[in-house]
Amino acid sequence: MWRDFARRLLRNRLAAAGGAVILFFFLVSALPGLFSSHEPNRIDIVNILRPPSATHPLGTDDLGRDVLARVVHGARVSLKVGFVAVGIATALGLLVGLLAGFYGGWIDAVLMRFVDMMLCFPTFFLILSVIAFLEPSIWNIMAVIGLTGWMGVARLVRAETLSIKERDFVAAARAQGAGDARIIFRHVLPNTLAPILVAATLGVAGAILTESALSFLGIGVQPPTPSWGNILTAGKDNIEYAWWLSLFPGLAILVTVLGYNLLGEGIRDAADPRLKGR
């Protein structure tokens, strides 16, 4: 099954391109020195707002810091926020969705009404409100994004669980004396992994966008720690005569989010059994 899934995924050129982009940014975040020899926070007042050149391929910012070095180190921050936030959201969504879908009744009613209540709040403004009462830090941002982004996963897992728990293999496991925990984690959960993987992949893109927006507004990752969002803030202040400060971090966000979306769509298509004959 997994070989068929991998084959269908690799045959999808857009998904393969998205995967290649993600692998490239993983390499960038793991080996920043391979792409830039400059220190990301080194101030050089002699080279303030220099355009792209051989010494500084992406130019310098308003403090003379190398933009390439800051974009490269900012990739590590953005990917870390994306994966940790989505990990928190997926874990919470899995727990709520499995409990609601498997047990039904009043448990389902209470949990789903709580999900509906959370969905009534505009997510970004809820994040802004919570961050306003907390110290702006990368850990707080990851926690807040994760704690406000699990509702979609919960509804998806609940729908899958409602279908899977009625199948014959679940009834056979129950007839053999399997307990609820064994049925949930041995039979139900593995059969919900494909849609969860799609949701998690697309969720990383959303988390990166949210972190970039928060950092752009000044309540996300705080300087001097480089983040694609706070690099864009410097670009906004100097956009009339330093176009490179907005262009290159903006392209990094665009390409990364596009890569995750393409890979997520490819995983969804590869996991759909109706597409096996293609």
Can you give the pTM of this predicted structure? 0.86
Per-residue pLDDT, 127: 82
Contact by Cβ (8 Å): 267, 11: no
Is 192 within a domain?
yes
- The residue range of the domain holding 230 is 2-44+55-275
pLDDT attached to residue 177: 84
Q: Do 74 and 58 touch, CB atoms closer than 8 A?
A: no
CA atoms within 13 A on the CB side of 54: 0
Residue 271 falls within a domain, yes or no? yes
Residue 50 lies in a domain: no
- Rounded CA separation 161/174 (Å): 15
Helix (H, G, I), strand (E, B) or coil at 140: helix
pLDDT in tens, the chain (278 residues): 667 777 888 888 888 999 999 999 999 988 888 888 888 988 888 888 899 999 999 999 988 999 999 999 989 888 888 899 999 999 999 999 999 999 988 999 999 999 999 888 887 887 888 877 877 778 888 888 998 889 999 999 999 999 888 888 888 888 888 888 888 888 888 888 888 888 899 899 999 998 888 888 888 888 888 889 888 888 888 888 889 998 999 999 999 999 999 998 888 888 765 544 44
DSSP codes, 143-155: HHHHHTS-HHHHH
29 Cβ contact partners less than 8 Å away, ≥ 6 residues apart: 72, 75, 76, 79, 80
pLDDT of residue 179: 84
CATH code: domain of residue 209:
1.10.3720.10
Query: What tokens were used for 133?
Result: 């009462």
Q: Which residues are CB-contacts of 223 (< 8 A; sequence separation ≥ 6)?
A: 230
> What's residue 114's pLDDT?
93
Distance separating alpha carbons of residues 161 and 156, to the nearest angstrom: 9
Query: CB of 221 within 8 A of CB of 229?
Result: yes
Strand partners, 60: 66
* Triad 84, 154, 259: Cα angle to 5°: 50
Is residue 195 included in any domain, yes or no? yes
Number of domains in the chain: 1
- Decide if 260 is inside a domain: yes
Residue 135 in 3-state DSSP? coil
The whole-number pLDDT of residue 273 equals 55
For residue 271, what is the enclosing H or E element? helix 244-271
